[in-house]
Chains A and B, each alone.
Chain A
Amino acid sequence: MTQFKTKHGYEGLLIVIEGTDGSGKSTQLELLKKSIQAQSYGVMVSEWKTSRLIANVIDDAKERNLLNATTFSLLYAADFADRLENQIIPALKSGFIVLLDRYYYTALARDVVRGQDIEWVKNLYDYAPEPDLVFYLDMPVDVLMKRIIGTTGLDYYESGRDIGFSTDFYKSFEIYQNKCLEQYNVMKSEYNFKSIDGTKSVKEIHKIMNDEVQKVLDSGVLF
């Protein structure tokens, strides 16, 4: 009866918003959640690094600079596995629309920039269900820098200071974010991202996303 099939075989929909820090993901996620809710669909939101089990271990370890590139990768993978198996897959099975702030593409970008072998990282996440839609908020580094400096400020790991590109905070951030963007650019076509110009207004971006989601909903996949 439905033409559209979910990509993972579960009943619900898996929708991901990807992008670097400061690209506006959380704002868009909130808007998308509201517009989907308004249509009486079941929505669940899950953010990167929020498992009840491991998230605070990561925060604590980061604070004390205890992480090397390998433990960094594995801890995030454990956090992801816990959320996937305890929240995301059960929600998909029961027909929810699951909105994710970041998916394993984030890990691929960050871990590879930290020198991990990409095939090794892919293996860590190879059991993850394929999303039905991936939105990617594309932002030039100079705009990102302004946004981040104007809000949260330069974080140690988000500036890649653990990698040692530069002892200068600003320089390190610039190099790190540029390298992350290179990885996202590779993934854009590999994983079929719907790339959106992140410098557009919040409203414009929301409309683009909402229209895409609406097309899927109109296909009757969740009826």
Chain B
Amino acid sequence: MAKFDEKHNYSGTLICVEGIDGSGKSTQLVLLRDWLKSIGQDVIFTEWNSSELISQTTKLAKKKNMLSPRTFSLLHAVDFADRLKQVIAPALKAGFIVLADRYAYTAFARDVARGVDSNWVREVYNFAIKPDLAVYFDIEPKAAMDRICANRAPKFYEAGMDLKLSNDPYESYLIFQDRVTKEYQKMVDEYGLIKLDAMDSIHSKQVTIRKMLKEVLQSKGVELNDAI
């Protein structure tokens, strides 16, 4: 079974961050982007479920709670395929550093937590390009919930309410995100995701990520001129 495990040959570099909402991954990626831009690098930023083609439909369907796990999975795959072919691959060919807030691993974690077959969803995404660096921010679901639900209740799909795990959104969130987290943890070995502790300080995580990125770039013969 193909599992997008081959190294790509594009001149650009693909970095992705993974983890459940509230793990701080987006903050880290934005810091990385702004820094790379400030030192004159060509950077492209792409987010999960943001394609022109389908993201609005998916958001609308989510609002109406009308998605089965498999349709949920396929719609996100459409979004990913659209961004991969229209944005990510061309940017990599043109030598950009592509920063992806969530990648195919998000689908593997969430869809499998929803009961979709793990081999099936991996096969669906087998057209994906293997990232040069994939960082996973590990966090206890309870700690993530305290962060994101400080002033709102968990959302329907975020809490896995479609799975009828519990009528209480907070309780459902914890059960569902615990499943998601377990799937992520499996992928640390399976896909070589680099695990970082989400509870570390913003600064220390950013230092680690920049160091890893520099190493990746060096291996491709790119030196960052960051002595500003």
A-side residues, CB < 8 A to B, are 53-54, 57, 61, 66-68, 70-71, 74-75, 77-78, 81-82, 85-86, 120, 123-124, 126-127
Contact = CB atoms under 8 A, between A and B. Distances in A.
A68 B81 contact: yes
Contacts of A75: 54, 78
A154 to B, nearest CB: 25
Nearest to A83: B71
Nearest to B75: A78
A123 B71 contact: no
Contact of A66 (B53, B61, B71): B53
Interface residues of B, number: 24
A71 B85 contact: yes
Nearest to B120: A123
A20 B52 CA distance: 30
A53 B81 contact: no
B124 interface: yes
A74 B74 contact: yes
A67 B74 CA distance: 15
Interface string B146-172: 000000000000000000000000000
B123 A123 contact: yes
Q: Which of A53, A74, A86 has its CB near the most chain B CB atoms (within 10 A)?
A: A74
Contact of B70 (A67, A70, A81, A120): A81
A67 B70 CA distance: 21
Interface string B124-151: 1011000000000000000000000000
Contact of A82 (B68, B77, B124, B126): B68
Interface in B47-66: 52-54, 57, 61, 66
Interface in B74-90: 74-75, 77-78, 81-82, 84-86
Question: What 8 pairs between A and B have smallest CB-CB spacing?
Answer: A78-B74, A70-B81, A74-B78, A123-B123, A85-B68, A81-B70, A81-B71, A82-B71
A126 B52 contact: no
A120 B123 contact: yes
B53 A85 contact: no
Given A66-B52, A81-B74, A120-B123, A57 B68 contact: no
Given A71-B78, A85-B71, A120-B126, 14 more contacts: A53-B61, A53-B66, A54-B75, A57-B57, A66-B53, A67-B53, A70-B84, A70-B85, A74-B81, A78-B71, A81-B68, A82-B68, A123-B124, A127-B120
Contacts of B57: 53-54, 57
What does DSSP make chain A's interface, helix, strand, loop or mixed? helix
6 contacts: A54-B57, A54-B75, A68-B86, A74-B81, A75-B78, A124-B124
Nearest to B116: A127
A53 B53 CA distance: 14
Contacts of A81: 68, 70-71, 74
Contacts of B71: 53, 78, 81-82, 85
Contacts, number: 63
Given A66-B53, A74-B77, A81-B74, A86 B120 contact: no
Contacts of A86: 68
Contacts of B52: 66
B66 A61 contact: no
A79 to B, nearest CB: 9
B81 A71 contact: yes
A126 B53 CA distance: 25
Nearest to A124: B124
B1 to A, nearest CB: 9
Contact of A78 (B78, B86, B126): B78
Q: Which of B71, B81, B127 has its CB near the most chain A CB atoms (within 10 A)?
A: B71
B54 A57 contact: yes
Q: Which of B67, B74, B126 has its CB near the most chain A CB atoms (within 10 A)?
A: B74
Contacts of B82: 66, 68, 71
Interface in B12-30: none
Contact of B120 (A57, A61, A67, A126): A126
Nearest to B81: A70
Contact of B85 (A53, A68, A123): A68
